[in-house]
Amino acid sequence: MAQLELDKVTKVFDDSSGTIVAVEELDLDIDDGEFVVFVGPSGCGKSTTLRMVSGLETITDGEIRLGGERINEQSPKDRDIAMVFQSYALYPHKTVRGNMAYGLQLSTDLDDQEINRRVEEAADMMGIEDLLDKKPASLSGGQQQRVATGRAIVREPAVFLFDEPLSNLDAKLRKHMRTELARIHSEVGITTIYVTHDQEEAMTMADRIVILNDGRLQQVGTPKEVYYEPNNRFVADFIGSPSMNFLDVKLDRDGTGSGTLVGDEVSYKVSDGMVGNLDDASSDLVLGVRPENIRIEAGAPPEKSIEATVDVVEVIGSDNFIYLDLAGQEFRVRTPSEIEPEEDETVTLTFDEENVHLFDARTGDALVHGRSQASVSAPPEQSDTAAD
Ligand code: ATP
């Protein structure tokens, strides 16, 4: 049973430039067999957390438990954990077989026959059987990455840790390897933490995504949860590409229960259901709407539309990304490729209330998500659900 628990885990670095709280009171329960992806901007504490789990970094405060047992004081080699890094760190003078076998020869008393069996089984899984007798220098980046992953698989660990393992590969190979790693995970079912700064990688691979910023946990949820119900403006901005649009608005109640969100050159009528969820909210709000949820529609109802001027149309093939000017602010819309307005043209934009997110302007906390029409007064507890 390889359930991994992080209980108020904190890491403070003290160096000549001062004290840095790299990770602050991180609570996380990762289920046996779960594939969890850590995302966040550079410096948010992803690698430090991974290194604390592996034992390469000491823990300042808090506890890490594997299968219910505290592992804070265990050395890396005593933890049943295998790590794959961004740099594959293969031994250049050893063959692929030698590289894959080496860890087992050092740290176990398995006989040669069993080591060979495991190496060949992992090579088969990674599709590198034909490379076993080659040296790393003659392999492509993608093949080296497979060897590094195969070397971790032969150990049959309780937990896999991946630190940006695909960053050195070109875009096409990255996508391919993502699918490969997801397939291997479903075959071996080992509890996995995977670190990336690429939100698309996180969305496509994870059972659950852990979003960090500035050493603090922002949200834990399935890809759908973090996309449709972001806890706060940071998560809403980080997940999705191009990123969500934000507009400063105030709620103007009309006395009948419904109301209008009013901002600079923005006026958008909302239902009593949405207004009812804002009873205790401050009047300074931020309206969030994703580029893919906005339509350019000349005949849209005036009470649910916004006018903006087209700056740039970016053709990406299947879709167009349209960048507009709305009261001096950039506004992004993603449309089907046949919708291609002229630059400098003024267009009418509209979106459905179910795609509206409202945030507290001061704290950034989510107040209501149109789709669920649920009030989000406090950040939800960490979800236990796996991806559906
Ligand atoms: P990246 O995506 O750039 O790798 P990250 O999210 O993995 O970033 P960490 O490497 O975990 O971030 O760093 C978190 C914070 O801790 C940063 O402010 C970093 O500068 C600091 N930090 C990391 N390692 C050390 C160290 N050995 N000494 C001092 N500060 C450190």
What is the pLDDT confidence band of residue 108, given thresholds at 50, 70 and 90?
Answer: confident
pLDDT digit string, tens, across residues 37-96: 999 999 999 999 999 999 999 999 999 999 999 999 999 888 989 888 877 788 999 999
Measure 36 CA to ligand 1 centroid, in angstroms: 20
Across 105-131, average pLDDT? 90
Q: Provide the pLDDT for residue 169.
A: 78
Pocket of ligand 1 (CB under 6 A): 13, 15, 20, 22, 40, 42-48, 197
Of 61, 41, 30, 49, nearest in space to 163 by CA? 49
Q: Provide the pLDDT for residue 92.
A: 92
Residue 186 has pLDDT above 80, yes or no: yes
- Answer with the residue of higher pLDDT: 340 or 246: 246
What is the pLDDT confidence band of residue 381, given thresholds at 50, 70 and 90?
Answer: very low
How far, in Å, CA of 168 to CA of 140, rounded?
Answer: 11
N residues, the chain: 388
Q: Provide the pLDDT for residue 255.
A: 76
* Closest residue by CA, ligand 1 atom 24: 48
Measure 171 CA to ligand 1 centroid, in angstroms: 25
Q: Provide the pLDDT for residue 384.
A: 37
Residue 3 has pLDDT above 90, yes or no: yes
* Closest residue by CA, ligand 1 atom 10: 47
Across 359-365, average pLDDT? 94
* Closest residue by CA, ligand 1 atom 30: 13
Residue 146 near residue 128 (C-beta atoms within 8 A): yes
Residue 242 near residue 293 (C-beta atoms within 8 A): no
What is the DSSP code (8-state) at residue 362? T
Q: Quote the tokens at residue 284.
A: 């300074």
Residue 388 has pLDDT above 50, yes or no: no
What kind and span of H or E run contains 257? none
The two beta strands, 191-195 and 35-39, are: parallel
* Closest residue by CA, ligand 1 atom 19: 43
* Percent share of the chain, pLDDT over 90: 65
pLDDT digit string, tens, across residues 148-167: 988 988 888 999 999 988 88
Of 322, 295, 298, nearest in space to 310 by CA? 322
Q: Provide the pLDDT for residue 173.
A: 81
By the 10 Å C-beta count (0-12 exposed, 13-18 middle, 19+ buried), 234 is classed as buried
Across 104-123, average pLDDT? 90
Sheet holding 216-221, edge to edge: 81-84, 159-163, 191-195, 35-39, 208-213, 216-221
- Answer with the residue of higher pLDDT: 197 or 209: 209
* Nearest ligand 1 atom, CA 11: 16
Tokens 């995970």 belong to 185
Measure 351 CA to ligand 1 centroid, in angstroms: 40
Q: Provide the pLDDT for residue 380.
A: 37
Residue 7 near residue 63 (C-beta atoms within 8 A): yes
Residue 382 has pLDDT above 70, yes or no: no
Residue 13 has pLDDT above 80, yes or no: yes
Measure 49 CA to ligand 1 centroid, in angstroms: 10
pLDDT digit string, tens, across residues 345-356: 999 999 999 999
> What residues contact 226, with CB distance under 8 A and at least 6 apart?
209, 211, 219, 235, 239
How far, in Å, CA of 59 to CA of 11, rounded?
Answer: 6
Measure 132 CA to ligand 1 centroid, in angstroms: 36
What is the pLDDT confidence band of residue 1, given thresholds at 50, 70 and 90?
Answer: low
Q: Provide the pLDDT for residue 139.
A: 92
What is the pLDDT confidence band of residue 372, given thresholds at 50, 70 and 90?
Answer: low
> Mean of the per-residue pLDDT values for the chain?
89
What is the pLDDT confidence band of residue 373, given thresholds at 50, 70 and 90?
Answer: low
Q: Report pTM.
A: 0.88
Residue 220 has pLDDT above 70, yes or no: yes
